[in-house]
């Protein structure tokens, strides 16, 4: 089985979910294709977003097997300067606040290629990564990051505890949204965390997603879309207290929570929970206009691209990303409009995008080929990419930023 339907909330088990957004049947966002695969049938899966009125979790109604999604993966965090700076800044802060040293242990779930743990290791702090993608775990090991190639679970956590592992800091960045068994995952964090340790979790913030029309954050890997209220309900079931919360601008708006076995909540948690109650995040009415706004954004983008093509403008795209896959396939944008995609990741280059089969090149092609416009699919890294492409822009090239509204820069 590679697909299953959720008839109840994956967090609290509530049986009645209310539909928020339907994007139709789309291919898996990171299922890039070789040239030989272009003529083969491509799998598609329903992509529907729903709301649980009991615990406020926004979630997909269909689940695709994690084995299918994550055992071979094409996203390497280290290709983004923004991600590396983000990781270095956070690790430096925690080394100081948690008094970490050579006797400590920092563990990361979904540790990718070691982009975060490398900064702890450089400071002489023992680290352990858990990463299910075999190709990415291998790269992390080659970089000297001890990595267990497996999916994190309650059972794996108990096994590690039996082997003598307990962590002072556990990172779980951009992984909780991917997890089918949320309660088992959080139980695992609780098992592995020392009594005075801290769990640091980052998730895309559902409020930012809704308010900024970030519909391309919705894809099959992202099963859950969290408010602080939904996170609080989830973590409290396993007696983990959210002690502090920060709103971080990365990825179009991220929540970073700090949780532990005890301790007091600081004012940041109290205030954001109160703000969510006041703004109606826990009510279906907060989400009701999302679908209509997404449709308008699609119409605006398609109209702009059609107008440019009618003027014989040449258009490429930047970023063979999961976000980009959702946006292009939902909007029906393909080779009739875009000539190709560029991406900094050498792992993606010379492959083809799912659904629309655009070939992926290195970013240097923009200077060599000089398309008139570039559709910025990785708009969440706009600052970094626009700076990297300053020469292309000096020569007259323009970027189309599609989210939160369509604009040309």
So what's the pLDDT on residue 85?
Answer: 87
Which residue bears the tokens 């970027």? Answer: 399
Q: Give the list of residues 6+ apart from residue 336 with CB closer than 8 angstroms, or none.
A: none
Burial class (CB in 10 A: 0-12, 13-18, 19+), 86: buried
| CA 367/CA 345 separation, integer angstroms | 17
Dihedral, 123, 125, 129, 135 alpha carbons, nearest 10: 40
Q: What is the pLDDT of residue 3?
A: 53
pLDDT of residue 64: 85
Q: Across 89-160, where does the E strand assignment appear?
A: 106-109, 127-130, 147-148
Give the confidence band of 70 by pLDDT, cuts at 50, 70, 90. low
**Contact (CB, 8 A) for 91 and 104:** no
Give the integer Cα–Cα distance in Å for 222 and 254: 14
Pairing of strands 45-52, 17-26: antiparallel
Q: If you search the block for the tokens 């655009």, which residue do you land on?
A: 358
Alpha carbon distance 66, 49 (integer Å): 18
How far apart (Å, rounded) are the C-alpha atoms in residues 45 and 22? 12
Residues whose CB falls within 8 Å of the CB of residue 41, separated by 6 or more in sequence, listed in order: none
The pLDDT mean for the chain works out to: 93
Task: Give the DSSP letter string of 24-71.
Answer: EEE--TT--B-GGGTTS----EEEEEEEETTT--EEESEEE-HHHHHS
Residue 3, both tokens: 């697909």
Structure-block tokens of residue 104: 């400590």
The answer to whether 75 and 322 are in contact (CB under 8 A) is yes
User: Tokens 């995952």 appear where?
Assistant: 185
User: What average pLDDT does the segment 374-385 reach?
Assistant: 93
User: Is-contact 209 217, C-beta < 8 A?
Assistant: yes
Q: How many CA atoms lie within 13 A of 306 on its CB side?
A: 8
The residue with tokens 């092609």 is 365
Interval 330-348 mean pLDDT: 96
Lowest pLDDT segment from 75-79, 157-161, 212-216: 75-79
Is the distance from CB of 30 to CB of 73 less than 8 angstroms?
A: yes
- Which tokens go with 55? 């615990």
Residue 1's pLDDT is: 35
Q: Domains of the chain (ranges plus CATH)?
A: 77-286 (3.40.50.150), 290-408 (3.40.50.720)
- Which 3 state secondary structure label does DSSP give 149? coil
Helices (H) and strands (E) in the chain, counts: 14, 19
* Rg, Å, the chain Cα set: 21
CA 29 to chain centre: 12
- Mean pLDDT check: name the lowest of 10-24, 64-78, 201-215: 64-78
- pLDDT 10s digits, 239-256: 999 999 999 987 778 999
The confidence score (pLDDT) of residue 79 equals 61
Residue-level pLDDT at 252: 77
- The values of phi and psi at residue 45, to 5°, are -140, 150
Q: In this predicted model, what pLDDT tens digit does every residue of 77-128 receive, in sequence order? A: 656 777 788 889 999 999 999 999 999 999 999 999 999 999 999 999 999 9
Region for residue 37 given its phi and psi (left: phi exceeds 0; alpha: psi -120 to 50; beta: otherwise): alpha
Split at pLDDT 50, 70, 90, the class of 186 is: very high
């Amino acid at each position: 089985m590679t697909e299953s339907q959720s008839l109840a909330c994956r967090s609290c088990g509530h049986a009645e979910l209310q539909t928020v957004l339907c994007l139709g049947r789309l291919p898996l966002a990171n299922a890039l294709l070789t040239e030989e695969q272009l003529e083969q049938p491509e799998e598609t899966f329903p992509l529907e977003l729903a709301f649980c009125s009991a615990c406020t979790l926004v979630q997909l109604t269909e689940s695709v097997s994690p084995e299918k999604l994550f055992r071979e993966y094409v996203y390497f965090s280290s290709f983004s300067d923004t991600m590396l700076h983000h990781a270095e800044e956070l690790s430096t802060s925690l080394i100081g606040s948690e008094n970490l040293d050579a006797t400590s242990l920092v563990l990361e779930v979904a540790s990718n290629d070691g982009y975060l743990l490398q900064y702890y290791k450089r400071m002489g702090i023992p680290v352990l990564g858990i990463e299910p993608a075999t190709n990415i775990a291998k790269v992390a090991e080659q970089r000297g990051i001890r990595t267990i190639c497996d999916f994190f679970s309650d059972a794996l956590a108990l096994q590690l505890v039996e082997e003598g592992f307990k962590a002072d800091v556990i990172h779980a960045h951009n992984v909780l949204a991917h997890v089918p068994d949320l309660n088992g995952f959080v139980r695992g964090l609780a098992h592995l965390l020392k009594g005075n340790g801290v769990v640091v979790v980052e998730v895309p913030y559902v409020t930012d997603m809704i308010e900024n029309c970030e519909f391309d954050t919705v894809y099959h890997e992202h099963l859950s879309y969290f408010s602080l209220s939904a996170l609080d309900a989830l973590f409290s079931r396993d007696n983990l207290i959210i002690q502090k919360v920060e709103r971080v601008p990365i990825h179009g708006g991220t929540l970073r929570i700090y949780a532990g076995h005890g301790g007091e909540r600081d004012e940041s948690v109290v205030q954001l929970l109160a703000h969510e109650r006041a703004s109606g995040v826990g009510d279906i009415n907060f989400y009701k206009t999302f679908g209509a706004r997404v449709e308008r954004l699609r119409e605006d983008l398609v109209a702009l691209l059609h107008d440019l093509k009618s003027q014989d403008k040449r258009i490429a795209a930047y970023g063979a990303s999961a976000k980009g896959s959702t946006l292009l396939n939902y909007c029906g944008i393909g080779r009739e409009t875009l000539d190709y995609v560029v991406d900094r990741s050498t792992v993606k280059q010379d492959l083809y995008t799912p659904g629309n089969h655009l070939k992926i090149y290195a970013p240097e092609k923009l200077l060599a080929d000089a398309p008139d416009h570039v559709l910025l699919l990785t708009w969440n890294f706009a600052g970094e990419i626009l700076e990297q492409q300053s020469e292309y822009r000096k020569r007259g090239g323009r970027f189309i930023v599609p989210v939160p509204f369509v604009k040309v820069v």
